[in-house]
Each structure stands twice: as C-alpha cells, then as structure tokens.
Amino acid sequence: MWRFSGNQMKRWRTKANVSREQLAAASHYSPDTIKAMEQGVRMPTPRVLDAADELCRAEGLLSAAKDYLSREKFPPRAQEFMEREREAIGRWSYDATYIPGLLQTRGYTRTLIENRYPPLDEETVEERITGRMERQAILTERKPPVALSFVVYEAALRSPLVDAGQLRRLLEVSLLRNVALQVLPFSRAVPAALLGPMVLLETRDHERFAYAEGQLGSQLSAEPDVVSRTIERLSMIRAEALSPAESARFIERMKDQP
C-alpha cells in the first residue's frame, strides 16, 4: 500500500506538471523525502497526500489513501526525527523536564501519553506507547552499537511521575558500554540548560541533525549554524553535569530515599 500510494502520488504529480520541489514546499518536507515516499521507501503521510491532492487537483482521490495506510506510532511533528534516529550512529541529548524517551519505563510512558492534551483515543495511546518502547532497541540491538549520551536535569528526576522503578531503569541503562548518562544538578545549572531539550544526531553518512521540541512545535535541522549552536550548548551542559559515575551515585541515593 505504501508503494501504491507513493506511485499514484508521483503519477498525479507528473500529470499535473507539479515538480517534486513544489510538492515538498507545500507539504513542508524535503524533495528527497518526497522522492522516498514516491518510491515506496517511506510511507506517504496524511500531510503530503493532502498537499498533493490539492496541488494536483485529484478531487480527493489521493487524500482517500489516508484511510488505507497504517497508523503512525509517532506524532506527525516527530516522524522525520524518528526516521533519522533509526539511521543514527551517534546520539547526544539533553532533557530538562522529562526522562528521555529512550530511557523510559512503560509505566512512565503510559502516564505521559494518557494524560496529554488534547486527549488521545485509546488506540492511539497504545500505538504511541508501543512505538516508544520499540525505539529503545537502539540501546542494545544495533551493530555496531550506537554511541549514546544523555544529560538529564535534576528537575526531571524530581518529578512525581518518577518512581523507584524508573530510577532503577536509569541505573541499568547507565551500565551499558555504549551509553553515557549524566545528571545536571540544580546547583550546576547554566542558562543554556534552561532553554529546553535538544538532540544531536549523526548518521552513517556523517550528516548531523539538530532537533528541538517544544509545546507548540519542533524543529529538525541540518543547517550548519543550528547544528553548531546545538553542539556548543550540549558541550557546555555536559561539562557542567556530574560525571557518569557521580551521576549513578546521585540516582542511587534518590532511589534509596523514602
């Protein structure tokens, strides 16, 4: 169905004399992503099908494909980031208010997703939880292993949502050879740490992408200036954070507190 939908999108685009670049601009994807969708490498998203339907005057025939494609396990704004994450050989991140998704327990994930606003239907909740758990394969199932670095602000650990099971999960993951987990205590917070979460990805082709997510939107960028600023901020935060060994002891003390 992916290939058929992508093929039909290409046929309609060609017939309507709409360039790949025009469709990319209208749907807010890159031309390479549009190409991958047309070739069946990536699943066409509802956004691109609607944009193609309007540009090509398909009178709903392209938009209708949305009902036959598998539902996405991630929010639309995060889908391209998830695709890049699957290609990553290195991932470095900082999280200010939540435990990183790759380190969450199922219970913690369920609490976050079930209580989001506007509310999600039960089927979508379960799909999102499954998708997040499947992402965690990056921790142990890639060959060669992916280099992973996490810095977590103390505020995220102090949240009422974090129980002893979640703290144990952090300690377990911190023992993996390809993982560096650091805690940034309140006492060491720098201004860059208060600006919100950020992620830096490096692909097999040594492309680097910076990703930042907020309440009203998210941004995935390969722009050199954006990547450079992200590297600088992550480096500054990592330098101020506790070492991995100190961080493990910090989390251990929290776990033992009544």
Determine contact, residues 184/95, Cβ cutoff 8 Å: no
Q: Per-domain residue ranges for the chain?
A: 2-68, 76-256
Same fold, 2-68 and 76-256: no
Question: In this predicted structure, what is the pLDDT of residue 40?
Answer: 80
């919100």: which residue's tokens? 196
**Cβ-count burial 192-201 (b if 16+ within 10 Å, e if not):** bbeeebbbbb
Residues 107-132 pLDDT 10s: 999 999 999 888 877 878 888 899 89
Give the domain 76-256 fold.
Endonuclease; Chain A (3.30.870)
Q: Which helix (H) or strand (E) holds 150?
A: strand 147-153
Question: In this predicted structure, what is the pLDDT of residue 65?
Answer: 87
Question: In this predicted structure, what is the pLDDT of residue 76?
Answer: 56
User: How far apart, in whole angstroms, are the C-alpha atoms of residue 221 and residue 228?
Assistant: 11
For residue 73, give the DSSP letter.
Answer: S
Strand pairing category for 208-213 and 198-203: antiparallel
Which tokens belong to 228?
């450079």
Residues 164-210 pLDDT 10s: 999 999 999 999 999 999 999 999 999 999 999 999 999 988 899 99
Residues whose CB is less than 8 angstroms from the CB of residue 75 and which lie 6 or more positions away in sequence, other chains included:
128
Q: Which CATH number fits domain 2-68: 1.25.40.10, 3.60.20.10, 1.10.260.40, 3.40.50.880?
A: 1.10.260.40
Which tokens belong to 194?
């208060």
Could you tell me the pTM of the whole model?
Answer: 0.72
CA angle, residues 254, 150, 143, in degrees to nearest 5: 125
Which tokens belong to 147?
């280099």
Question: In this predicted structure, what is the pLDDT of residue 36?
Answer: 87
Q: What pLDDT tens digit does each residue of the chain (258 aa) get? A: 778 888 999 999 999 999 999 999 999 889 998 998 898 877 788 889 999 999 999 999 999 888 777 555 555 557 778 888 988 999 999 999 999 999 999 999 999 999 988 887 787 888 889 989 999 999 999 999 999 999 999 999 999 999 999 999 999 999 999 999 999 999 999 999 999 999 999 998 889 999 998 876 788 899 999 999 999 999 999 999 999 999 999 999 999 887
User: How far apart, in whole angstroms, are the C-alpha atoms of residue 87 and residue 82?
Assistant: 9
